[in-house]
Amino acid sequence: MEPGRVNPHIASIAVATPPFVLDQARSLEHLLRHYGDKLKPRSVSLMRKIFANPGIKKRYFAIDDVDAFLSEDPDGRIARFSRWSVNLSEKAVLEALSDAGLTINSISGLVVNTCTGYICPGISTYLIEKLGLRRDIKVYDLVGSGCGGAVPNLEVARSLMTNASEDVIVSVSVEICSATFQMGDDLSLLISNALFGDGAAAAVLRGRPGGLELIESSSCYVPEDRDAIRYVHKNGHLHNQLSTNLDELVRKAVSQVTAKLLGPRSLRVEDIKHWALHTGGEKIINSIRDEIGLSETQLRATRKVLSGYGNMSSPTVWFVLKEILKEGMKEGDWCIMAAFGAGLSAHAFLLRKT
């Protein structure tokens, strides 16, 4: 950082979910009603076991009818993605601005990321129109980062900050995971249909103290393991693909990005009071916990978000960070925000409460 220059700060965070919510029991009943006779008996048995895991209680879905979306054609699916991704993003942005005491006219930059649908022009242009943003605003649409996309988004948003304390950059992560719904005997699909939900988050960055100071970020890419977690195209549809040993791969990558942040500052794991970890699933959370040496207290926010929302892909880590702030952070407290996903990749940001 240049002498006399203030690091950018996260001034506020807001989250948004669609109104339709299903608990795990109702989700299972619904899927079995439609697909029980099309799946192998072993798949039905696995579904019952997966949905019975107590780690997730309920999830939110960007749908109007619990039955209609199952028969969507590709055009209907992308139309639903477009409508809900823009609406949820708009809601999150307006709330984040209000919480920061700012107005639409304050925004000088916007970065939006998603991986669950593709539209051109991107979501950002729809937000420019709906929110009435300046037509000369700096905007970027990011795709392809999967569940870890919020942190690269934050890195881009930080890069848009100048020396001006008046700069206001908004970082938006939005995913309509239900727009990638598929059902079959593939274990990846069975797990995905019990894990993923829909949601959006927005964070306001300012070039003045107040909130969470952005200290430094780090990333780790393991492209040879890209098939462990990714979307694949089949017959014009996205199908989620998850490896059975994903927890082993993720914990190593998260450990690496964490070490890159702590080592140069002579910080230890025990010096970081707050950990905003992406809710990749209970098995992965436990694996990261054991690898890094975290306590259940440090994972409380992550588990709470997993229970109440499932895995919403990229916005999820913002939900966790907002929960940590709600529980309370003291001035000077350190926090690591970490997410992981397609790539295979892991990303982390070191934050400090001011």
For residues 151 and 294, membership in a common domain is answered with no
For residues 121 and 221, membership in a common domain is answered with no
What pLDDT score was predicted for residue 1? 46
For residues 130 and 41, membership in a common domain is answered with yes
For residues 199 and 232, membership in a common domain is answered with no
Domain stops at, among 160, 175, 206: 206
Q: Would you state the structure tokens that stand for residue 106, as one six-digit string?
A: 């304050």
For residues 198 and 62, membership in a common domain is answered with yes
Q: Is residue 332 part of a domain?
A: yes
Output the CA angle 123-277-344, nearest 5 degrees.
Answer: 70
For residues 149 and 245, membership in a common domain is answered with no
Q: Would you state the structure tokens that stand for residue 180, as one six-digit string?
A: 């990638």
| Region 168-182 average pLDDT | 96
Yes or no: say if 47 and 118 are a contact pair by the CB < 8 Å rule: no
User: pTM of this prediction?
Assistant: 0.96
What is the count of structural domains for the chain? 2
For residues 73 and 198, membership in a common domain is answered with yes
Q: Would you state the structure tokens that stand for residue 112, as one six-digit string?
A: 């939006």
Q: Is residue 2 part of a domain?
A: no
Q: Is residue 197 part of a domain?
A: yes
Q: Is residue 224 part of a domain?
A: yes
What pLDDT score was predicted for residue 71? 81
- Residues 224-256 have pLDDT tens digits of 999 888 998 888 788 888 888 899 999 999 999
Domain stops at, among 172, 206, 240: 206
For residue 176, what are the CA distances in angstroms to 52, 83, 88, 119, 127?
24, 10, 10, 13, 16
Share the mean pLDDT of the chain: 94
| Region 102-110 average pLDDT | 96
- Residues 261-320 have pLDDT tens digits of 999 999 999 999 999 999 999 999 999 999 999 999 999 999 999 999 999 999 999 999
Q: Is residue 4 part of a domain?
A: no
Q: Is 95 helix (H, G, I), strand (E, B) or coil?
A: helix
For residues 217 and 183, membership in a common domain is answered with no
Among the listed residues 131, 73, 95, the one whose alpha carbon sits nearest the alpha carbon of residue 17: 95
What pLDDT score was predicted for residue 234? 85
Q: Is residue 1 part of a domain?
A: no
For 227-235, the CB contacts below 8 A with 24+ separation are: 228/344, 229/146, 229/147, 229/341, 229/342, 229/343, 229/344, 230/146, 230/342, 231/115, 231/146, 231/180, 231/342
For residues 322 and 274, membership in a common domain is answered with yes
| Percentage, residues of the chain above pLDDT 70 | 98
164 pLDDT higher than 70: no
Q: Is residue 3 part of a domain?
A: no
- Residues 71-103 have pLDDT tens digits of 888 899 999 999 999 999 999 999 999 999 999
For residues 71 and 150, membership in a common domain is answered with yes
Most distant CA atoms of the chain, gap in Å: 67
Domain stops at, among 206, 221, 251: 206
16: CATH: 3.40.47.10
CA distance 83 to 31: 24
| Region 322-342 average pLDDT | 96
For residues 196 and 239, membership in a common domain is answered with no
Domain of 188, in residue numbers: 9-206
CA distance 177 to 78: 12
For residues 151 and 219, membership in a common domain is answered with no
